[in-house]
């Protein structure tokens, strides 16, 4: 985890000081902003990996996934997943979140977010040794479709929770 990530994680500890509360909210807002930007990087990297450059060109383009490209994508995806877990969701998981509205939204959406986390981690583990051979490529093409769906669902669920956290 980066030094910034560790600093942000430590910043959520409750403190009775109202100035600290304002500072904590500002850090939370910055963390949420960073998470959303990282999610955007995941989506862009996914589109590049899947060979989606434009809707109009989808039927005429040919695309081959390179091992380095897949590794870069997986690193961004793991960074995004870890940031969400350790910098945003950990407080909820540990039962430290006190705001009722956040707890209610988390109870509704976090189990599904956790499922997406499992899928993303499994995807990373599965393709950690990707070498671009025929079997790997065939398996990857099927998994990329499901991966795109999981990323989209996670973003929708995550937005609900992040919205509650920012109130």
pLDDT category at 136 given cuts 50, 70, 90 is confident
Its pTM stands at 0.80
More confident residue, 18 or 92: 92
Burial-class residue 113 by CB neighbours within 10 Å (0-12, 13-18, 19+).
Answer: buried
- What are 76-107's pLDDT values in tens digits? 999 999 999 999 999 899 999 999 999 999 99
pLDDT at residue 135, rounded to an integer = 80
Would you say residue 123 has pLDDT above 80? yes
- Which residue ranges form the domains of the chain, and what is each CATH number? 3-166 (1.20.120.1370)
Annotate 33-60 with DSSP letters as a single string: HHHHHHHHHHHHHHHHHHT-S-STTTTT
């Amino acid at each position: 985890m980066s030094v910034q990530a560790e600093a942000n994680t430590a910043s959520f500890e409750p403190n009775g000081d109202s100035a600290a509360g304002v500072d904590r909210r500002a850090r939370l807002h910055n963390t949420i902003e960073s998470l959303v930007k990282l999610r955007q990087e995941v989506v862009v990297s996914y589109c590049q990996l899947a060979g989606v450059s434009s809707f109009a060109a989808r039927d005429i383009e040919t695309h081959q996934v390179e091992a380095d490209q897949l590794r870069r994508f997986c690193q961004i995806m793991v960074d995004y997943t870890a940031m969400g877990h350790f910098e945003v969701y950990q407080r909820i998981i540990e039962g430290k979140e006190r705001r009722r509205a956040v707890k209610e939204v988390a109870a509704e959406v976090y189990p599904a977010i956790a499922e997406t986390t499992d899928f993303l981690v499994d995807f990373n583990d599965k393709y950690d040794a990707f070498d671009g051979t025929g079997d790997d490529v065939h398996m990857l093409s099927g998994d990329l479709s499901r991966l795109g769906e999981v990323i989209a669902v996670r973003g929708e669920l995550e937005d609900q929770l992040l919205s509650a956290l920012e109130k």
